[in-house]
Structure 1
Amino acid sequence: MLRTASAQVFRQLVRHVTTDSSLVLERSINRVQILGRVGQDPLMRQVDGRNPVTIFSVATNEMWRSGEGEATQGDVSQKTTWHRISVFKPGLRDIAYQYVKKGSRVLVEGKLDYGEYVDKNNVRRQATTIIAGI
């Protein structure tokens, strides 16, 4: 019975996988929500005649207790993760630049974007950015 069920799933999977991209446009989701504190006042940048972008960072914290269970009085540990936020949408970009300040608590919704850049020492670096307001 397990073989027939897995065979049916495999047939459905094969039926939906196609090499002709003109037949079906596949749906996907790239959505992120970050709730945390702003680490620096936003900066507005414009590069090579492109539209301006507002950039700021947000810190999120993860806390856990070390030990053998929740009732144990173990040490509390914390990890802070920094997220780079970019706002391109014209109205939202200006509002973020004007009203978001260091230390503010913000909820950011957007999508993840991965890219590469070359730093001032000619070293290729990877960057993960949250594009807000998508």
Structure 2
Amino acid sequence: MFSKRTGNSFVRHRTTDTNLILERSINRVQLLGRVGQDPVMRQVEGRNPVTIFSMATNEMWRSGEGEPTSTGDVSQKTTWHRISVFKPGLRDVAYQYVKKGSRILVEGKLDYGEYMDKNNVRRQATTIIADNIVFLSESLRDQ
């Protein structure tokens, strides 16, 4: 038997595997950026549909930053993220209201997987599984 602390109380779980140790872990991502393409909804036979779109985040820095009179060139790096929305209500809202260029905050978790491309080559894929989307563009918030 082992205990898990939840808030101020403990929840006890029984297991027959005496070597099993459960630990708390966190897989949490927050992205603030702009949508790169209008969402598409896909459905694989026998599975629930998923809404998918891309999102860009930017990192900016000035060369020589940290120096008292920093006047260096500004550089920027754009990173593209694949966002998948499986949660039924959120999936439909994302499909309907997320638009290319809109500024959003996505909260979710990282997921790593593999797929076979059209040439039967195994590819790696990193995806953000969204469980919350906050619309920040003025035109979308007002809808």
- What is the letter of the counterpart of residue 20 of structure 1? N
The answer to whether residue 74 in structure 2 is matched with residue 81 in structure 1 is: no
Q: 2:116 aligns with which of 118, 123, 126?
A: 118
Q: Distance in 1 between the 2:121 and 2:69 partners?
A: 48
Distance in structure 2 (CA, Å) of the matches to 1:71 and 1:36: 30
Q: Map 1:35-50; keep pairs closer than 5 Å.
A: 35-50=32-47
Task: Tell me, yes or no, if structure 1 residue 29 matches structure 2 residue 29.
Answer: no
Aligned residues: 114
**How far, CA to CA, are the matches of 1:44 and 1:105 in structure 2?**
20
The Cα of 1:105 is off from its aligned counterpart by 0.4
Structure number with higher relative contact order (C-alpha < 8 Å, ≥ 6 residues apart): 1
Letter in 1 for 2:26: I
1:120 Cα deviation after fit: 1.1
Structure-1 residue corresponding to 2:70: 72
Distance 1:75 1:116, change over 3 A: same
Considering only CA atoms, is the larger Rg found in Structure 1 or Structure 2?
1
- Gaps (5+ residues) in structure 2? 1-17, 133-143
Partner SS, residue 51 of structure 2: strand
Q: Which residue of 2 aligns with 1:98?
A: 96
Q: Which has the higher strand share?
A: 2
Identity %: 85
Moved >4 Å (runs of 4+): none
- Alpha carbon RMSD of aligned pairs, Å? 1.5
Deviations 1:55-84 (A, max 9, x none): 001100000111262522111110000010
Write the distance in 1 (CA, Å) between the matches of 2:39 and 2:68.
39
In structure 1, what is the equivalent of residue 19 of structure 2? 20
Provide TM-score, normalisation by structure 2: 0.75
Q: Supply the distance in 1 between the matched residues of 2:68 and 2:116 (Cα, whole angstroms).
A: 46
- State which drifts further: 30-39 or 66-75: 66-75
Shift of 1:48: 1.9
Cα pair distance change 1:78/1:20, threshold 3 Å: same
1:86 Cα deviation after fit: 0.3
